[in-house]
Structure 1
Amino acid sequence: MIGFQDIIKRYKHRRDCQYLSQAYKKNYALIGFGNHCIHIIYPVIQYLQINVKYICCSSPQKVKLIAQKFKGVIGTTSIDEILNDETIAGIFVSATPSSHFEIASKIIKSGKALFIEKPPCLCIEELNSLIAKQRLYGYNTVVVGMQKRFSPITTILRKKLRDKRLISYNLHYQVGLYPEGNELYDLFIHPIDLVTFLFGDAKILGVHKTSSENGGKTYLLMLEHNNVAGTLELSTFYSWQEAHEAICINMESGMYDMQQMETLTFTPSSPSFGKIPIEKVFARDSRLNSLYSRNNFNPILINNQIISQGYFNEIKTFVESVECINKSTIPTDFTSLYITYEILDKLDKIK
C-alpha cells in the first residue's frame, strides 16, 4: 500500500522532472541591456535556460563588460551581426522606445522571430507600417510585451466575464512624474490595452486632460465597448513609491476588484425582495471571495511578481512558439494592438 510520504515523494519527483524536461534548443539574441532587461527579461531567460548567443547594446564599454559577466555570450554593438547569423531563431528587443520601430522593422525583414517590449512604436502610422511589413515579409512569431495580458488575474477575469451582463468598470492607474519619456506610449498603454483586451473594441465617449508645469499629466477618460462602458484615471500626478493600479468591474451578479495585479476578489450582489435590498433590512456577513492573491510568505517562482504581473508567461510564450512547443492562445502580434493605438493616438492629439 502506498503511504502519504510515497505520494508526496512521487509528486515532487514528477514536478522536478517536468522542470528539467523543459529544454530549449534554439539560439537567441538580446538587443538592449538596460534596467528592464537586467532585472526582468534576463532573469526569466536564465531561469528557463534559454540559449543566448548575443547581447547587443550601443555602449562599447557595456559590450566589454557583457563578455566578462556572461560566459559564452557575445557582446556586440552591431544589430546586423545578429541578423546575418543564421543560427539565431529569435530576438528579444528592450532598447530605447524611440528606436523600437526601426529595430522591429529590420528584424521582421530578416525573417527572425521577434519579442519586443512596449511600445513597439510611437504612433499609429508606425504600427500600420509594422503590420504591412509582417504581411510583406511573412508572418513569423511576434510577441509584443503587453505583459498584463499574460497575468493570471487577466486569465481569470477573461473566463469569469465571458457571457456575463456587465454594468460598468472603473480603472485607476496612478504613478509619479515621468520626465524620461512619453507617458502615453510608455505607461498608459498598459491600462488602455488591458481594458481593450478584456472588453473588446472601444470608442472614446469623453476625455479631460490636466497638465502641470512640472510635467505631471492626468487623463480622465470614458470608454464605450460593445457591452459595457467604463472610466479610467491615468495619472502621473501621484507617487512612484505609492504607485497604485486597480480595476473594479461591476456586473448584475456581483463585483470583481483587482488591486496592483496581485489580488482579485469577487463580491456577490446583495439579494433583493422586489426593489428592496435585503441588506438594508437584515445584517449580513461579508461574502467576499478571494480568487487570486500573491503569496508573500513562500518565495518560490509562482509567488514572484514576475509571474503575477505577466512577465514570465509572455517570455515563455514567445520561446515556446519559436521552438514549436506550444502555440499561444493569447493574441500577441501588432494587429492585436490596433484598438489600443487608436485610443492612444486620439489622446496624444489633445492639447
Structure 2
Amino acid sequence: MTARLNGPELPSYVLTVITRDLQDRRARWNAERVHGRPRPKISAWRPMSSGDRAMGLLVSVDRFGNVSQTVPCDSPQGILAVTDGYLIARHHVIELWSRDLTYKHDFTSHPWFNDVHSLRAWKDGIVVASSGTDSIIEVTSDGEPRWLWWGAEHGFDTDTFGSGRTLSKSGDHREIVYDTWLQATHVNSALALGPATVLATLFHQGCLVCIDRGTGHTWPLLEGLARPHAVRWQSGMLTLADTVNGTGLVCRIAGAQGVAADCRVEVDRHIAVRTRWLQDWHALADGVFVAVDGERPAVVFLTADGTVIRRDEFDPEWYLYEVALD
C-alpha cells in the first residue's frame, strides 16, 4: 500500500484480514460456479502455523490511510473496539487484544462457537453471530452466556444441498469445521435492537430477519438481498451490506413487520465494474460512509451519492473482513 503524504484526514481504523490467499480462493470459487459445488466434508479445525502464507492479520491504518502496523493473527473475522482494546472473533474464541495490537487473553469461548463472525455491543454485553452452528449467542461483559438462539429450533434445519442439518445443542462444536455450504443460514451478523428484539443477516436466505428474544420466533424484515452482511445500528441509522450487489443500505424501521431502504449507496459506481463483494459497511455521524471492498481489497470512505473521499487499497492477496474505527 502506497503511503499518502497528502490527503483527507479521516478516522484511523483496525482492519481484520482473514487470510492472505485470496487469489487462490477466488480461483476455487470461480471453478465451483462453472463446474458445480461438490459437497464438502466436515473436518477437524487446525490452527495455522506461524509460517503459513495464508495466516491472517490485524492491520492498523492511520488517519491518512497509511498502514502503521501489521500483526499475524489466525483467521480473525469480527472486531469490536472496547475500552481496553479490541475484541477479535476467531474460529471458536473471542480474544482481547490491546490498542497496540498485542494479544492479552482469551475473553470467552463456548461450545456453540464455530466460525464466529460479527460482534456487536449491547448494554453490558455482546451479541455474537456463530455462523458454523447457525446460532446467535449473547454474552455478558464477563463473557458468560445469557441468551441463545439456535436456528435449527426455528425452522433453519436444512443445508444448501437440501439435506437436513442436525447438530447437538449440548455438544461441543469448537474443534470442527462446518463449511459455509453445510450451514443452514450462515448467520454472519446480529445485533440487539432493544431488549426484546434481535436483528440478523442470513447469508443463504438473502434477508435481514427479526428475532423475538422471548420465543425465538423469526421473520423476514428485508428480503431479496444477495449474501447480506454487516447489520449495524449507529448514528441513528440501521445499515447493512447487500454484498454481491456491491450496495450499502441505509434503512429505517417501517413498523413491526419490515424495514424500508431509504438509501442505496453503490460502492465504486464511478468505476467501470463495481465490487461484487461488499464485506463491511458503516455509517459515520457526519454523513460519511465506510465500505470494505472484499473483492478488490480496499477500505473506501464515500458519501451517500457514491462520491469517493478516499480509497485505501491493500495487498490483492488479503481477504478482508471488518474494520473497527477510532
Judging by fraction of residues, say which structure has more helix: 1
Larger RCO, structure (CA 8 Å, separation 6 or more) = 1
What TM-score bracket applies, with the shorter chain setting the length?
A: under 0.3
Q: TM-score, normalised by structure 1?
A: 0.26
Judging by fraction of residues, say which structure has more strand: 2
